[in-house]
């Protein structure tokens, strides 16, 4: 089985990055909203630690995904108006930027708050800055705002994929589905 994408479909590695990162983001975002309302105690610390570890995993996956993508061919786009092709390209670039910016802003928030950062209690990561209450507040606001933008862009991305599938009847969605390989 070929791992790379073809002229008609995304390869299994690209699809695994796509759907794996979606699953992790889909889990971490509700946890992020949930954890802020927890009372201070051991449970809150465990949930925060999990949130941070998954966020760091997503950052590492974003690095690997971008490295993989830079050496990957892109399947041909189906016929569409030029504005749609430009919008799709802009959305994909924005999703990559957010895949980096969201976890990095969380790391900055954590650092400015003066908390240690560990990845699943296995690896200690350095602080990006020292404790700074003003930077902490700004980084938190940035982190939350980036997540809100991410949710909107992902929603538009999913709506566009469904439009391609159900209205345009092209292979855009099928080319990214696991195991389908773009076949009608």
Q: Which residues contact 182 (CB under 8 A, 6 or more apart)?
A: 6, 8, 9, 10, 75, 171, 174, 175
Predicted confidence at residue 183, as pLDDT, reads 46
Interval 132-144: pLDDT, tens: 999 999 999 999 9
Predicted confidence at residue 163, as pLDDT, reads 96
Predicted confidence at residue 64, as pLDDT, reads 98
Predicted confidence at residue 184, as pLDDT, reads 42
Predicted confidence at residue 15, as pLDDT, reads 95
> What number does CATH give the domain 12-168?
1.20.950
Q: Average pLDDT for consecutive 10-residue bins of the chain (184 residues)?
A: 86 95 97 95 96 98 97 89 95 97 98 97 97 98 98 97 95 85 47
H/E stretch holding 125: strand 123-125
φ/ψ region of 32 (left if φ > 0, alpha if ψ in -120 to 50, else beta) reads: alpha
């Amino acid at each position: 089985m070929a791992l790379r994408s073809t002229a008609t479909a995304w390869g299994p590695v690209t699809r695994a990055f796509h759907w794996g990162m979606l699953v992790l983001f889909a889990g971490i975002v509700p946890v992020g909203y949930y954890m802020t309302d927890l009372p201070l105690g051991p449970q809150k610390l465990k949930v925060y630690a999990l949130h941070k570890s998954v966020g760091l995993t997503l950052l590492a996956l974003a690095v690997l995904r971008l490295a993989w993508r830079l050496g990957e061919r892109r399947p041909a786009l189906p016929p569409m108006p030029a504005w749609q092709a430009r919008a799709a390209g802009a959305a994909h670039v924005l999703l990559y930027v957010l895949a980096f910016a969201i976890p990095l802003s969380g790391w900055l928030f954590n650092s400015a708050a003066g908390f240690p950062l560990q990845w699943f209690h296995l690896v200690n990561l350095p602080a990006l800055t020292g404790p700074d209450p003003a930077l902490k507040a700004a980084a938190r606001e940035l982190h939350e705002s980036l997540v809100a933008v991410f949710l909107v862009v992902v929603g538009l991305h999913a709506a566009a994929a469904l439009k391609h599938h159900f209205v345009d009847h092209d292979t855009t969605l099928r080319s990214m589905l696991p195991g389908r390989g773009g076949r009608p």
